[in-house]
Every structure is written in structure tokens, then in C-alpha cells.
Amino acid sequence: MKKLFIAALLFFSPAIFAVNPAIDSDKMYLTPDELCLNYFDGFYIHLGHNVWVKTGTIHRDAGGIYFYDDGLVKEWKCPYCFMYWRLEQACQNPECNGKK
């Protein structure tokens, strides 16, 4: 259901995805290529250089799609097992191909 909602949102509202300056200081606007849906955890937003933040909700207003930047934890995505870990933590997946 979430996948269908995101697909409909991305398909029917292409004009709202322009990068906009934040109206509120804690709002961070995003573009569709910065968003990744994980069915178990929520939404992952790519900040660049393999740095991601996880949020449970995203919002939409006249300025575009945004999320609130209030105490989010920055994580990185392992290129071998595709799991997310805190920035200061190495991959903890015992089955990860990168550890072999």
C-alpha cells in the first residue's frame, strides 16, 4: 500500500519536487531521487555521500515534499549487504560479503 501511495504521489505531482528553501528551520525539502522506502523501517532520505536519515513520516505542502529534521540519526548503507548502520559503526551483518 505504501509503495502504491508513493508511486501515485511521484507520478501525479511532478511539479512539486523542485528543491525549495525550507520555510521552517526544521523542515528539510527533498526530491524523489533522495527518497528510499524500506517496508519495515520507514522512509530513508539520502543526504549525499552515502549518508542517510530514517523517518517514519514525510509531509507535503505547496513548497514540496519534506520531512522534519528534529533529532534524526545519520546512517550509512553498506554497499555489500544494503543494510543501514550508524555513521560511527562498521557493518555488523555476519553474512555480509564485504567482510570476506
Judged against a pLDDT cut of 50, whether residue 15 lies above it is answered with: no
- Average pLDDT value for residue range 13-35: 58
Q: Counting Cβ atoms within 10 Å, is residue 49 exposed (0-12), middle (13-18) or buried (19+)?
A: exposed
- The single residue listed with the C-alpha cell 525549495 is 20
Higher pLDDT among residues 34 and 58, named by residue? 58
pLDDT digits (tens, 9 = 90+) for 58-79: 888 888 888 887 778 899 999 9
Rounded to the nearest integer, the mean pLDDT of the chain is 75
State how far the Cα of 80 lies from the Cα of 83, in Å rounded to an integer.
8
